[in-house]
Every structure is written in C-alpha cells, then in structure tokens.
Amino acid sequence: MDGKELKEITSRDVDFAQWYTDICKKAELIDYSSVKGCMIIRPYGYAIWENIQKELDRRFKETGHENVYMPMFISESLLQKEKDHVEGFAPEVAWVTQGGNEKLPEKLCVRPTSETLFCEHYANIVKSYRDLPKLYNQWCSVVRWEKTTRPFLRSREFLWQEGHTVHATSEEAKEETLKMLNIYADFCEEILAIPVVKGEKTEKERFAGAESTYTIEALMYNGIALQSGTSHYFGNGFAKAFNMKFMDADNKEKYMFQTSWGMSTRIIGALIMTHSDDHGLVLPPNIAPIKVTIIPIGKNNTEILDKSYDIARNLKLEGITCNVDNSEKTPGFRFAEAEMRGIPIRIEIGPRDLENNRCILVRRDTLEKIEVSLDNIIEEVIKLLLEIQNSLYLRAKIRRDDMTKSVLTIEEMKALSERENGFIKAYWCGDRACEDKIKEETGITSRCIPFDEDNQDGKCCVCGKDAKHFVYWGKQY
C-alpha cells in the first residue's frame, strides 16, 4: 500500500457506510473470509479487542466473577426447553447434523448464546443456598446466521463475553443485573470515551426469555444508535424450565433467580463510528494498543535514533505503550500510517529538533502540532494523553446532545426522522400497538426507557393518552 492508497478514504459525510468499511480495511483491523459473513480480525484489530477484554475482565473479577468455558454445541432438546428463548433465536441458529460420515442422532446447535448450557450446569452443581450466588463469565465466540453482515457490527461469528449468574433471591439478581450494566456504562465512558444512555428496553425489544432487559445506547457520528451492551434479569423462568432448584436456609426447596449480560466485538464498531475521521482511525488513549509512535527523521542519524529509543524506554517505564517507526518508508508515509492507525500521539524528531533540544508532538484527534522541549517530553506526553482522552469524550457527548431532540406527536417524529438522524425523545403510553405504529410510519424503534426519564406528565405521541414513559427512539444498527 502506498501513501496515496493510505489517504484514499471515502468521506464520512459523503458515504458513511463506505467510509466505515474503508477504515476497517485500511487501518488493517479486519480482512474478509472466504466464508460469507465471517471476518478475519487482524493483529491490530485483535489488539484493540485484547485491551477491551483485559479492562472488562479486571472489572468483572473485582466484583467477584469467575471465568468458565462452556461447550460450543447445544443439543436441540436442551435448546427447546425454554420456549420464548428458542423462538427468539430460531431464525439465526446454525445446526450441525452430521459428524464425520455419520448423521447425528440429534441435531446440535452452534451456540448463539449460552443460557441453556449454564442452566443445565447450574441445575447439576447448585444444591444448597450455601452454593449461591454463582457469578460466572465466559469469553468465547458465538454464531448467529445473519442475512446482512458488516465488519464488527454484525457478522455470523463474533467474539464476546457473556456473564451468567444465579442467586437465591430476586433482589440479589436484580441488583446484579444493574451492577453489570453500570460496569458497561463506566467502561464505555471512561475507557472508550463513548457517552451512553442507560435504560430499560420495552417489552417488544427485550431479550428472548427475559423479564427485564437493560441497555446502554450510544449514538454514532451519523446519528444512528448502537446498542452497546445489555444486561438481562430472567427471574426464575429459566429455573423452572430447567428444574434449577436449591434447598434454602428455611429447609424449603426453591427456584434460583438468574441473570445474563454481554458485550461483543461490535463495540469496536462503536469505537470507530464515534471518534474516527476522514484521515483514518481515531483511538482514545485508554484503549489504544500503541499510545505513542516516535518517528525519527533523517537517514542513518544515530543521534536521532538513540534519542528516539531513549524516549521510548522512558515512556514504557511510565506504562505508556509506544514504538519507534524507523522503517525505510518516507516520513510522509509514516505520518499517514500513524494517522490511519489512530495512534493518539506522534512524536517527530529531526536533526534541527535535536540541535534545539526539542521535538514535535502531533495529537491524532485534532492533528494539532505542539513543540515541546526534550527535557520534559515524558511529562508533556502524559498530560497530552489525558487531554486527548477527555477531549474525545466531551466532543462525542456534545455531538450526541446536539443530535438529541424531543417531539410531541408522531407527525413531528416522522418529519424529524426524515430530515435528520439522532435520538428522538417522546412520550409513550406503554401500548405495544403505539410502539408498532411508530416503527411502521417512521422506520425507527424504541432504544430505551432511560433511568433518568422525564417524570413530568405527558401525552403519548401516537394516541394522545396519558404517557407512562419518556422514551428514546431512533434508527439503529
């Protein structure tokens, strides 16, 4: 790939979908597989996922969760045990019907999610209230036979984590459900610099088999919403279907209460679509695999090279991941490559810089160039990384807030959704028929009932009856 190819990215304001694909490919995050709908996650893309995994895993373990691994295959009879659950996933299930040269006596589902596997396991290992709670999580891949696919956002196989817990009481399970949603929200805002709206899904949008589904919703640069993480309270519906009982302290047999929660590689899609620009990927420092790249300018200048590697060593001592790009490529190409890969800070050092005991810091988010002394380069980099992280979050939040508007009627909602994308806030009576009508007439869906919803009296934007909720609506990926 030459410098010209590196720069040839479709403008996000001209064709957002093509811009997104260009970023995924040219930043070397993914490649396409010969299996339709499946993607290859390349080393740089996987390094981002590893950082996501590391940060989430730390938070999970700090709250008492343990990692386990369940089988990839689920027998048809096991999947069929919870009626609503199997109906919700039936269109997306991939089946294995033959092993070697022999037809299988029972079809095996390639897991689209693992609730049924965990239910079977918990029914076997939990006997007493003393065995509870069980706080498990697994990192794995799942398969959902999607008709329309797009890198990270929707592929037939994707990576994720899925937490599955069981508790003695509904109160404990409900507390767990909200605790994990808050972990997702904090992670998105603190690490990915993505502002989110926390709330509950309507009954229509609930996870199959759940009593309540909670979500964090993010708004992409183009004003389309992305469900970025979900947490589900199941009550004891699954427990009854799978005979998940335990002996309580009062010596009575009771059903367990259950939760599940998950975040997948689609969050990398959210990362791209929230922050990146027409120069390529933009990564918040807290998630970037490489936070700083040092580019020495001048052929075979050992002094510049020595200084570059000295800075790199000192940055690493501060826990800042960095590299020295001393490749044979031209400085211009190396600058463009660093911009394409979204490395938060680029340090440029040339002969004149060295003579004057200075260097240039280039921040990826704004492409601003800052001249700093080599004497305090480490302190300046640390300060700038924090500034970039905060700036990316604030910029995304301002944009999200500017693209969030309220309407009073379905006619206003339709006109607004045809004119521009974004979150639309409107009152809703809680009736499924009104929710269906909004989708039919506007093409948008309910994103969530926010936890901080406006409790003032209002009228449903569809039927005019007293409203139960002030809901976020919008187009979604």
Give residue 455's pLDDT. Answer: 67
Contacts of 455 by beta carbon, 8 Å cutoff, 6+ apart? 470
Q: Which fold has domain 292-397?
A: Rossmann fold (3.40.50)
State the pTM of this model: 0.95
Give residue 183's pLDDT. Answer: 98
Q: Are 450 and 197 in contact (CB under 8 A)?
A: yes
Strands 197-200 vs 212-219: parallel, antiparallel or unpaired: antiparallel
Give residue 5's pLDDT. Answer: 52
Q: At residue 133, what are phi and psi to the nearest 5 degrees?
A: -80, 165
CB atoms within 10 A of CB 258: 31
Q: Are 73 and 104 in contact (CB under 8 A)?
A: no
Q: What is the pLDDT along the chain (477 residues), one digit of tens a residue?
A: 444 555 589 999 999 999 999 999 999 999 999 999 999 999 999 999 999 999 999 999 999 999 999 999 999 999 888 777 777 778 889 999 999 999 999 999 999 999 999 999 999 999 999 999 999 999 999 999 988 899 999 999 999 999 999 999 999 999 999 999 999 999 999 999 999 999 999 999 999 889 999 999 999 999 999 999 999 999 999 999 999 999 999 999 999 999 999 999 999 999 999 999 999 999 999 999 999 999 999 877 899 999 999 999 999 999 999 999 999 899 999 999 999 999 999 999 999 999 999 999 999 999 999 999 999 999 999 999 999 999 999 999 999 999 999 999 999 999 999 999 999 999 999 999 999 999 999 999 999 999 987 667 899 999 999 999 999 999 999
Strands 134-143 vs 157-167: parallel, antiparallel or unpaired: antiparallel
**Domain 404-474 is found in CATH 1.20.1290.10:** no
Q: 267-292 b/e with 16+ CB inside 10 Å = b?
A: bbbbbbbbbbbebbbbbbbbbbbbbb
Q: Which fold has domain 3-73+114-275?
A: BirA Bifunctional Protein; domain 2 (3.30.930)
Strand 73-75's sheet: what is its strand order?
73-75, 102-110, 94-99
Domain extent listing, the chain: 3-73+114-275, 292-397, 404-474
Give residue 6's pLDDT. Answer: 54
